[in-house]
Structures are given as structure tokens and as C-alpha cells.
Amino acid sequence: VVNSIGDRLDENTARAHIMNLNNSGALDAKTAKLMLCTISDIALRPVPVEHREAARASIFKQLLLTNIN
């Protein structure tokens, strides 16, 4: 999954990845919920809009590397 992310990631795509990983058992429910909060537009509000998708991709990759079972 990490290699498929790329340099930019919108919130809906990130959310779909997280839910798929949770449904497959690769992430537990608590971790999935924390990841969803972390990559949300609300959490990234301080980041300028034009940079949010790049920031989200970077954050999401690190979350995956540290949390996938």
C-alpha cells in the first residue's frame, strides 16, 4: 500500500485505504480511527490548502510504516 500512495493524497482516498486495511484486519479499529483523525482536513487546517495533499501523503506513509500489523 505504501508504494501506491505517491506524492499527493486526498482525504477520501486516504479514508478508503484506512477502511480497507481495517476491514482486512491489517489495522485494528482504534488505530484506524486515530489514522482517520490524523489525515483529516480538520487536522491539516494549519497547512495551506495547496500543500495539504502532499502533507497528507507524507503523514499517511509514515503512519502505515509504523502501524500495519
pLDDT digits (tens, 9 = 90+) for 40-60: 999 999 999 999 999 999 999
Percent share of the chain, pLDDT over 90: 90
Find the mean pLDDT for residues 6-20: 96
pTM over 0.75, yes/no: yes
Distance of alpha carbon 34 from alpha carbon 25, whole angstroms: 16
Torsional sign, CA 38, 40, 44, 49: positive
**Does the pLDDT of residue 1 top 80, yes or no?**
no
Indicate the average pLDDT of the chain: 94
In this predicted structure, what is the pLDDT of residue 69? 57
